Amino acid sequence: MKVAFLGPRGTFCEEAARRYFSKLGTVFIASSDIPEIFRKVERDEADRGVVPIENSTEGSVNLTLDLLHECPLKVSGEVELRVRHNLIVRPGMKMGDVTVVMSHPQALAQCRRFLVENLPDAKRMEVASTAKAVEMLRRTRGAAAIGTALAAEVNKMDILVKGIEDNPNNFTRFFVIGRSPAPPSGEDKTSIAFTVPNVPGSLYHALGEFAVRDINLTKIESRPTKQRPWEYIFYIDFEGHTSEPRCVEALEGLRKKAAFLEVLGSYPKARS
């Protein structure tokens, strides 16, 4: 099994991939960006890909949403990962040695309280990713990085302080993508994309197909179609698998009301 993830080594995306694909012998392939993950799976250079889809505090990853609509791949799984930030240093360094803290801008912002209280005089340096920041410790004097425990392990660095994030309820959700759908597990979700005619009540009546069958919607979001100004694609996640009779009926009813409908995938709910 070859699994592509958003690199470099030590990212939250790699952590999610390793959690989902825990079997020995799995090969993990770092990719430079999200489109490259989709390309690797489409070209059979990887069997699966793991991509971020949304963060509980920052919202959805729009690029992933767009690519799911544009590419023929299917969502076959999901992973929910708590975003746990750590202060990472070169071996032997102490808090008093730190003069600069490096990380992705979001990570720096998510650890603001800790930095103000513990490293008020240290310079903040923004870099492309948390994993990149940990890589840079080797050649940056007096530096600490905010990153994952995996990044510290990969780069043979020390974790000076664990769990320095301000919000302990910060989670990122990842999709597992592949060329084939997932069979029903008994505890599933389905993701779809659709458009409706631009007339009064069209979205209301479309969503009614789920309400009348007591199907729970877990997410609804819109994105521009990019074809005409002010026209939108709606993305919905709901509980159930496309093989279940009530879900089949709901999708058949929606198809009659929608101008366009695409099933992005049915997949097992994330394991807690």
Strand partners for 27: 2
pLDDT, residue 239, reads: 97
The answer to whether residue 272 scores a pLDDT higher than 80 is no
Delineate the domains of the chain, giving CATH numbers in brackets.
2-82+170-178 (3.40.190.10), 86-161 (3.40.190.10), 188-268 (3.30.70.260)
Across residues 134-158, what is the average pLDDT? 95
Burial class (CB in 10 A: 0-12, 13-18, 19+), 24: exposed
Q: Is 260 a catalytic residue?
A: no
pLDDT, tens digit (0-9, with 9 covering 90-100), for 75-99:
999 999 999 999 999 999 999 999 9
Model-level pTM? 0.87
Q: Are 192 and 261 in contact (CB under 8 A)?
A: yes
The answer to whether residue 155 scores a pLDDT higher than 70 is yes
Q: How far apart are CA 130 and CA 104, in angstroms?
A: 5
Q: Is 218 a catalytic residue?
A: no
Catalytic entry in 5, 174, 194, 210: 174
The answer to whether residue 72 scores a pLDDT higher than 80 is yes
Catalytic entry in 148, 172, 190, 195: 172
Which residue in 200, 267, 196, 177 sits closest to 234, CA to CA? 196
pLDDT, tens digit (0-9, with 9 covering 90-100), for 190-234:
999 999 998 999 999 999 999 999 999 999 999 998 888 888 999
| Cβ count near 272 (within 10 Å) | 4
Q: How far apart are CA 19 and CA 5, in angstroms?
A: 12
Strand partners for 191: 237, 265
